[in-house]
Amino acid sequence: MQVSQAAPWLDILGCRVHRVDMPTTLEIINQFILERRPRHVITLNAEIIYTALQNPELQQVINQADLVTPDGAGVVWAARFLGCPLQERVTGIDLMVALSRMAAEEGWRVFLLGARPGVAGKAANNLETSFPGLQVVGTQHGYFAEYETDAILTAIREKQPDLLFVALGAPYQEFWIRRYLIDCKVPVAVGVGGSLDVLAGEVARAPEIFIRLNLEWLYRLFQEPKRWRRQLALPRFVFQVFRQKYRSS
């Protein structure tokens, strides 16, 4: 299945974002797993779209991905502002939890790659407790040297996962997946940013009220004040979306 045909998409600052909600995303990924051809899934937020504006190589990686979900309030706002409203956000953490539930039901094998040593193992235990029957067949921390990559790829291949979650931080994880997807021999690889830290209980997710008010970014700023520099991308993103709209009208 060619997702660009199966799911409608919209262009936000040169990046293709599929107009999918969570149920459609799960359906498409289920289909990918049945088809067993290597597929790259990105949950795309405003910060990365803005970064891609200055980095054509990143924009190319995003536009070559098989499925790009709208991650974050900024993307949902931009879609509405550009006249293509979306149903909802499909964030990395929500997608990872939903896919883990489905993996337990369907018998899919899962591999977790990324975060500091010990974190992926803790996240695996927590997921296996939440979703009895889930098979996390391998974990690997994300602070390895270039020369260790081959051994890691071999370990992933040997475990034969159906789903590989890559939590190396965006956009590095997107480049990593693009480069090594074929070598991993995995039907689906998803970049999930800081999700392993949350699932391991190392970092708290924003309280429900922040999530509902689309203010998760603000909560993250309180938690990690040094993110302010990265979050400067948000007002710049908004400015560029205004330009996109009024240029093309």
- What gap in Å lies between CA 9 and CA 30, rounded to an integer? 19
Q: Which stretch binds ligand UDP (CB under 6 A): 151-159, 192-200, 210-218, 232-240?
A: 192-200
Crossing angle (nearest 10°) for helices 46-53 and 73-81: 70
Least distance in angstroms from the C-beta of 16 to ligand UDP: 19
Applying the rule CB under 6 A, the residues between 169 and 188 that interact with ligand UDP are 169-170
How far apart are alpha carbons 141 and 52 in whole angstroms?
A: 26
Work out whether 114 is an interface residue with ligand UDP (CB under 6 A).
yes
Per CB under 6 A, 46 contacts ligand UDP: no
- Our finding on whether 161 is near ligand UDP (CB under 6 A) is no
Interface stretch with ligand UDP, choices 34-42, 71-79, 194-202, 232-240 (CB under 6 A): 194-202
Q: How far apart are CA 191 and CA 170, in angstroms?
A: 8
Task: Tell me if 14 sits within 8 A of 248, measured CB to CB.
Answer: no
Q: If binding is defined by CB under 6 A, does position 189 make contact with ligand UDP?
A: no
Size of residue set near ligand UDP by CB under 6 A? 13
Per CB under 6 A, does 167 bind ligand UDP? yes
* Least distance (Å) between residue 233 CB and ligand UDP: 11
Query: Binding ligand UDP by CB under 6 A: which of 142, 164, 188, 189?
Result: 142
Where does this chain touch ligand UDP (CB under 6 A) — which range of 80-88, 112-120, 122-130, 180-188? Answer: 112-120
Tokens (6 digits) for 20: 């999918």
Name the residue among 123, 209, 225, 229 with its Cα closest to residue 166: 123
Q: Where are the alpha helices (DSSP H) in 7-55?
A: 22-35, 46-53
Using CB under 6 A as the binding rule, whether residue 116 contacts ligand UDP is answered as: yes
Residue with smaller CB distance to ligand UDP, 13 or 196: 196
Please calculate the CA angle 244-40-90 and round it to the nearest 5 degrees. Answer: 60
d(CA 83, CA 68): 19
Residue indicated by tokens 């199966």: 6
Query: Using CA atoms, how far apart are residues 63 and 117, in angstroms rounded to an integer?
Result: 32
Cβ contact 69:25 at 8 Å: yes
121 binds ligand UDP (CB under 6 A): no
Is cis: bond before 207, omega within 30 of 0? no
**Closer by beta carbon to ligand UDP, 70 or else 114:** 114
Q: Which of 193, 199, 206, 240 binds ligand UDP (CB under 6 A)?
A: 193
Identify which range of 33-41, 124-132, 189-197, 241-249 contacts ligand UDP by CB under 6 A.
Answer: 189-197
Site for ligand UDP, rule CB under 6 A: 114-116, 142-143, 167-170, 193-194, 196-197
